[in-house]
Structure 1
Amino acid sequence: MTAAPGARNALTDVSGLLVGHHHVLDPDATRGSGAATGCTVVRAPGGAVAAVDVRGGGPGTRETDLLDPANTVRQVHAVLLTGGSAYGLAAADGVMSWLEEHGEGIPMSPDDPSRVVPIVPGAVIFDLPVGDWHTRPTADFGYHAADAAGPDFLRGCVGAGVGAQAGAIKGGVGSASIQFSDGVAAGVTVAALVVANPVGSVFDPRTGIPWGAGTDGPEFFGLRPGTAAELAAANALAVKSTVLNTTIGVVATDAPLDAAGCRRLATVAHDGLARAVRPAHSPLDGDTFFALATGTATPPPTPQLPSAFPADLPLIDALSTAAAVCVERAVVDAILAAEPVAGIPAYRTLFPS
């Protein structure tokens, strides 16, 4: 099958999805002072089929039980990714308020279309030590992020990625997409958006090349091994000062998947994370991936399979492979787009060559 990055190489290459950020960032932020936190909202106008897979041992989440394929609700209207640890879940209230104002949600009254209940699952990263401990995303953050959502969005130190730290270096928001032009997934797009905040390393200490470049090769990202001096400086950095971490994100497709198919995408997203971060899924990480399917694309008919297998199995297999690669690329995108914050060095400042 032939596949290439989408027009934006971003989550919003999946038709039906929008992304918005809201954050505060004090240019003079240091450890323990100055604001450095925010949130990112993925909106799905009209709703999208959804699922989730939580692999970290210390997750901070909201509405994830609802996304079990065995449960009744099949669609979400937005996903919140936020800083502020468990405090940051308050931002979901603002997302719900924005959606309610715009009539987005599960209809609850045939006589009053304003009576809706928006479904907004969410997950948090632990970024409290990066700036002022007491500055956290609030409902206002979520409202403004939902209001800002559109097809084009920034990466790096924005939204939920403002206070993110990836191992010893600055983390952030990254994204990537893959569009298929032939095969069982012809005309279908797969994409990922990641907030990279792991305790694990995101680059090979022997070369300086991000682990997430392993599948595509460093040339795909325009990278080459660091110099001896660059490697010495990068490897001398202190390890992350806290073991409370998390990488969270969304993988998505415009294929018409059911909840079980979405769950498979969320599961394999963690394969991409494990290839891009070493180690991943530690006991105190909250690594969580949501999966969304907007159903706006129409893939070609799939080959006939024995009745014991799902009819869309070949399609799900192709999308799963692409989802893991998108997560790898999104982690690399996050660290390449990041800039130093609160004394945390960025990848491009460590490896300028």
Structure 2
Amino acid sequence: MIVTGPTDSLLDVAGLQVGHWQRLDPEVTVGTPEVPGTGAATGCTVVLADPSAVASVDVRGGGPGTRETDLLDPSHSVQRVDAILLTGGSAYGLAAADGVMHHLEKNGRGIPMGAPGAVVPIVPGAVIFDLPVGQWSVRPTADSGCSAAQSASAEHLARGSVGAGTAARAGALKGGVGSASVRITDGPAAGVTVAALMVANPVGSVFDPVTGMLWGLDAARAEELGLSAPSASDLAAARALTDKGTVLNTTIGVVATDAPLSKAACRRVAVAGHDGLGRAIRPAHSPLDGDTIFALATGTAEPAEGSATASIPAFPDELPVLAAVCDAAAVVVERAIVDAILSATAVADIPTYRDVLPSVFGR
């Protein structure tokens, strides 16, 4: 059984902080092949782990933009990371990771290299394609990454059209940053927290054109959030948007847990997270998406007694806990994508789900 975490966000995993940087001008337009966009709309989001966290990654999209993901292969030597960068700006935005590294180096964070102050921070990252929103030439830089890292907080996590989600789109709708968390209450993983932070910017649709409800919402969750079926007129308006999406998008994010997991286990958690992505976005993992999920394990929780698999020598002791965490990973990714869509605010005349289907919210 799982229950929603205290803040229903990535911050429910102790040791993690999240910071955003964004630039959003008052007058922003979406560019076309014939007419460039105007104004600026982009940003980046940084997840800091203090102390460092065991990490891995699973890349499913056919067009990813990433940094240091090879390092996270379970067969490779480095086990832990200091931060994860999620950024706009397509491949240009990966420059923001340099700023995160500079911030960490200044604070003595990273792999010690012997000499005083000599450290190498480990900062993997992934990008979304948001360049057509606003001026093509405005994207996150090293200074942007440094600012996001400096602003990181364990107390508050802004959601919606902020950070890496500033110019995110979800098909024809506005995307953004969303988060969710659950606490496992029984079984070998009792007491373990699992959470996700996702930047929803998919090619695929996030809502069912037949019902108008978000793909990632079952009836129980919709009732919990106070959402109901839309009116016929709202549903017709939503259906009219289904063919007006984009083709060069992606959804990226982080799944984290306080369970003490190995790097190989983190890879399996990242894989499971994509199940949640597939539930909330249809289609997912397209040839032009760059869908990427990082997994972090801080190891600050103690699994329940009797969780080992000593009676099955071929299996690792962490397997029962890992199985429960993987189940929860799919749930929090799905919920975080829903949260991103519900939290988004309009940018550059890209409508939000709330704008198109107000009757779902009783308006």
> What is the TM-score of this pair, normalised by structure 1?
0.97
Q: Which residue of 2 aligns with 1:120?
A: 123
- Alignment counterpart, residue 227 of structure 1, candidates 225, 231, 253: 231
Q: Which residue of 1 aligns with 2:152?
A: 149
How many Å apart are 1:295 and its aligned residue? 0.5
SS in 2 for 1:255: coil
Q: Which residue of 2 aligns with 1:206?
A: 210
Q: Which amino acid aligns with 2:295?
A: A
- Alignment counterpart, residue 89 of structure 1, candidates 94, 97, 108: 94
State how 1:1-353 maps to structure 2 within 5 Å: 2-31=1-30, 32-109=37-114, 111-112=115-116, 114-151=117-154, 152-214=156-218, 216-237=220-241, 239-240=243-244, 242-301=246-305, 302-304=307-309, 305-353=311-359
Q: Which amino acid aligns with 2:290?
A: G
How many Å apart are 1:222 and its aligned residue? 1.8
Q: Which amino acid aligns with 1:50?
A: A
Amino-acid identity (%):
65
Q: In structure 1, how many angstroms separate the alpha carbons of the residues matched to 2:315 and 2:189?
A: 18
Q: In structure 2, how many angstroms separate the alpha carbons of the residues matched to 1:184 and 1:67?
A: 27
What whole-Å deviation, never above 9, does each CA across 1:291-342 have from its counterpart, x for those lacking one?
0000011111315441011112111111001000000100000000001110
Instruction: Give yes or no for contact 1:36–1:130 (8 Å, CA) kept in 2.
Output: yes
Q: In structure 1, how many angstroms separate the alpha carbons of the residues matched to 2:221 and 2:16?
A: 29
Q: In structure 2, how many angstroms separate the alpha carbons of the residues matched to 1:178 and 1:215?
A: 18
Instruction: Give yes or no for contact 2:174–2:347 (8 Å, CA) kept in 1.
Output: yes
Q: In structure 2, how many angstroms separate the alpha carbons of the residues matched to 1:30 and 1:52?
A: 34
SS in 1 for 2:358: coil
Q: In structure 1, how many angstroms separate the alpha carbons of the residues matched to 2:145 and 2:339?
A: 24
Q: In structure 2, how many angstroms separate the alpha carbons of the residues matched to 1:100 and 1:186?
A: 36
1:69–1:264 distance in 2 versus 1, CA, 3 Å: same
How many Å apart are 1:234 and its aligned residue? 1.2
Q: Which amino acid aligns with 1:10?
A: S
List, as ranges, runs of 4+ consecutive aligned residues in structure 1 with deviation greater than 6 Å: none
Q: In structure 1, how many angstroms separate the alpha carbons of the residues matched to 2:269 and 2:219?
A: 18
> What is the TM-score of this pair, normalised by structure 2?
0.94
Task: Give structure 1 stretches of 5+ with no counterpart.
Answer: none
Q: In structure 1, how many angstroms separate the alpha carbons of the residues matched to 2:200 and 2:215?
A: 13
Q: Which amino acid aligns with 1:125?
A: I
Task: Give structure 2 stretches of 5+ with no counterpart.
Answer: 31-36
Instruction: Give yes or no for contact 1:199–1:240 (8 Å, CA) kept in 2.
Output: no
What whole-Å deviation, never above 9, does each CA across 1:192-237 have from its counterpart, x for those lacking one?
0000000100001111110011385421322111110001111112
User: What is the number of equivalent residue pairs in this alignment?
Assistant: 350
Q: In structure 2, how many angstroms separate the alpha carbons of the residues matched to 1:211 and 1:53?
A: 22
Q: In structure 2, how many angstroms separate the alpha carbons of the residues matched to 1:106 and 1:46?
A: 12
Q: In structure 1, how many angstroms separate the alpha carbons of the residues matched to 2:160 and 2:148?
A: 16
SS in 2 for 1:87: helix
Q: Which amino acid aligns with 1:38?
A: G
